[in-house]
Amino acid sequence: MGHPLAVDWLGRVPYADALALQERAVAQRSKGLGPDRLLLLEHPPVVTFGRSGRPEHLRSSPEALAARGIEIHHVARGGDVTWHGPGQLVGYLVLDLRARGETDVHLLLRRIEGALAQALVALGLRPATLPGMTGVFLEGAQPPRKIASIGVGLRGWITWHGFALNLTVDLAGFADIVPCGLHGVEMTSVARELRRPAEPALFRQGREAVSVAFLRSFG
């Protein structure tokens, strides 16, 4: 592609801190400083609403969530409501689209889906996309099973926010929301689909597969 991409593993980062990290990365990139970046991390349990988020898609009250230590954030990304937690690989993609000559945002979403699909194939799964839905699902699953969610924001032509891939996450966390506002869709994980224990080794394997796929697609 001719454009460098720096991939950084940041560990477990509180959501507000990750927002601040993104803000700094976007500001730096908008000044033409440094490479494009993919920030990989986990979050403590948190619920986030994108620009099209609807309050009725929150199944638990804010008070009940707060009592369990779960924050709610309203952020400037695409998409509806989602949940993040340990065992879910979150990727924040900071790209200068204008410098890349790639200002088609719909194409960007398809490329992110494609990179995630590459990673899932490397892990032994059969991913798919569904017409009219953003994200990555499992091929042939009925009802549809979603394994990765995508919600991107733009500041000028710099991207931020990104994707969440369920690797070893406890799927019970999604019970607090209607994931991405999609009724009739189940959330799943790599551990569940491979019938493997939700162990750190599997998370590391998934993280490495994602790094390779995004370097291949965007690096």
User: Quick check: is 119 catalytic?
Assistant: no
Tokens of 62: 């804010």
Task: Indicate the residue type of 137.
Answer: F
Catalytic site residue from 90, 177, 180, 190: 180
Task: Indicate the residue type of 46.
Answer: V
SS3 assignment, position 69: coil
- Let me know: does 184 contact 142? Beta carbons within 8 Å: no
Among left, alpha and beta (phi > 0; psi -120 to 50; other), residue 104 is beta
Residue 217: Cβ-neighbour burial (10 angstroms; 0-12, 13-18, 19+): middle
Contacts of 95 (CB under 8 A, 6+ apart): 29, 36, 108, 158, 159, 218
Catalytic positions are 180
